[in-house]
C-alpha cells in the first residue's frame, strides 16, 4: 500500500522531529494556500478575514516550530517556509490528491 501525500509529508516531518499536529497544520496550510484571493472572497471584509486566518495559521506553525525544534523566531519562520514549499511539492507531485 502506498502512502498518501499527507502521510508522506507527516512521515518526512516526523523524521525531522516534528509532531503530527505540526504536520497536519502544515498540510492544511498547503491545501488552503497563502493567497486570500485564491479562496474567492465575495467582499473586501471576507478577503481581510481570510488574510488574518492565513497569517494566524502561519504564526501557529512558527510557534510550534520554535517549541518543538527549539528554534529562534527567524529560524522557525524559515523552517516553516521550507516545510510549506516541500509539502506543496509533495502534494503537486501526487496530482493534488489527499
Model pLDDT, residue 98 = 46
Which pLDDT score, from 0 to 100, does residue 97 have? 46
Domain of residue 83, residue span: 5-91
Count structural domains, the chain.
1
* Residue 97 within any structural domain of the chain: no
Flag whether 15 is in a domain: yes
Residue 89 Cα distances to 4, 25, 26, angstroms: 13, 16, 13
50: in domain: yes
Counting beta carbons within 10 angstroms of the beta carbon of residue 26, is it exposed (0 to 12), middle (13 to 18) or buried (19 or more)? Answer: buried
pLDDT class for 34, splitting at 50, 70, 90?
confident
Domain assignment present for 36: yes
The whole-model pTM stands at 0.86
**C-alpha span between 92 and 31 (Å, rounded):** 10
> Looking at residues 63-87, what average pLDDT do you find?
98
Residue 30 lies in a domain: yes
Amino acid at each position: 500500500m502506498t502512502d498518501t501525500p499527507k502521510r508522506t509529508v507527516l512521515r518526512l516531518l516526523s523524521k525531522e522531529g516534528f509532531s503530527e499536529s505540526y504536520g497536519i497544520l502544515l498540510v492544511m496550510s498547503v491545501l488552503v494556500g497563502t493567497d486570500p484571493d485564491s479562496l474567492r472572497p465575495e467582499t473586501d471584509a471576507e478577503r481581510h478575514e481570510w488574510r488574518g486566518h492565513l497569517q494566524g495559521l502561519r504564526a501557529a506553525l512558527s510557534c510550534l516550530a520554535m517549541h518543538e525544534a527549539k528554534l529562534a523566531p527567524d529560524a522557525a519562520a524559515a523552517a516553516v517556509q521550507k516545510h510549506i514549499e516541500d509539502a506543496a511539492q509533495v502534494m503537486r507531485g501526487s496530482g493534488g490528491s489527499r
